[in-house]
Amino acid sequence: MNRTNWMHKIRVLVVTWALAAVAGTIASAQEAKTFYGEVSDSQCAMNVHSLTRSHQEMLKSKSMGGTATECARFCVQYHGGDFVLASKKDVYRLDDQNQARAFAGTKVKITGEMQSDKQTIHVIKIEQEN
């Protein structure tokens, strides 16, 4: 192989690698979306012990706290639930449970990426909804 052919192959390899890196960055940026809803617990949001997919019954009974925040944290800690995003009729598990805990029971805006299972959001950022 002469030097010219070798240099050409290296240039092609470098250009191919650069294009793949740019394409990967664009694809990743396109996957990040904004989701709105309430950080809840899977027990209440998925009707495990709630008929309304909310904290209403639990708050009336006062058995799991007096606020949506207390109810969500209680259900996660004592009933084996996970923090989720309840958005209308959809419920998504949040992969960052520590960050979600800080927003339990509040309306939020989440920037994240939908995972391949279509049921889990990879959380990039959570903000309280105004």
- pLDDT one-digit tens code per residue, 72-122: 999 899 988 999 999 988 999 999 999 999 999 999 999 999 999 889 999
* More confident site: 61 or 36: 36
The closest of 98, 100, 97 to 110, measured between CA atoms, is: 100
pTM for the whole thing?
Answer: 0.69
Q: What CA–CA distance (Å, rounded) separates 26 from 56?
A: 43
Q: Does the structure show a pLDDT above 70 at 63?
A: no
Element (H, E) at 63: none
Cα-based distances in Å from 98 to 27, 48, 52, 82: 27, 22, 26, 11
Other C-beta atoms closer than 10 Å to the C-beta of 22 total: 10
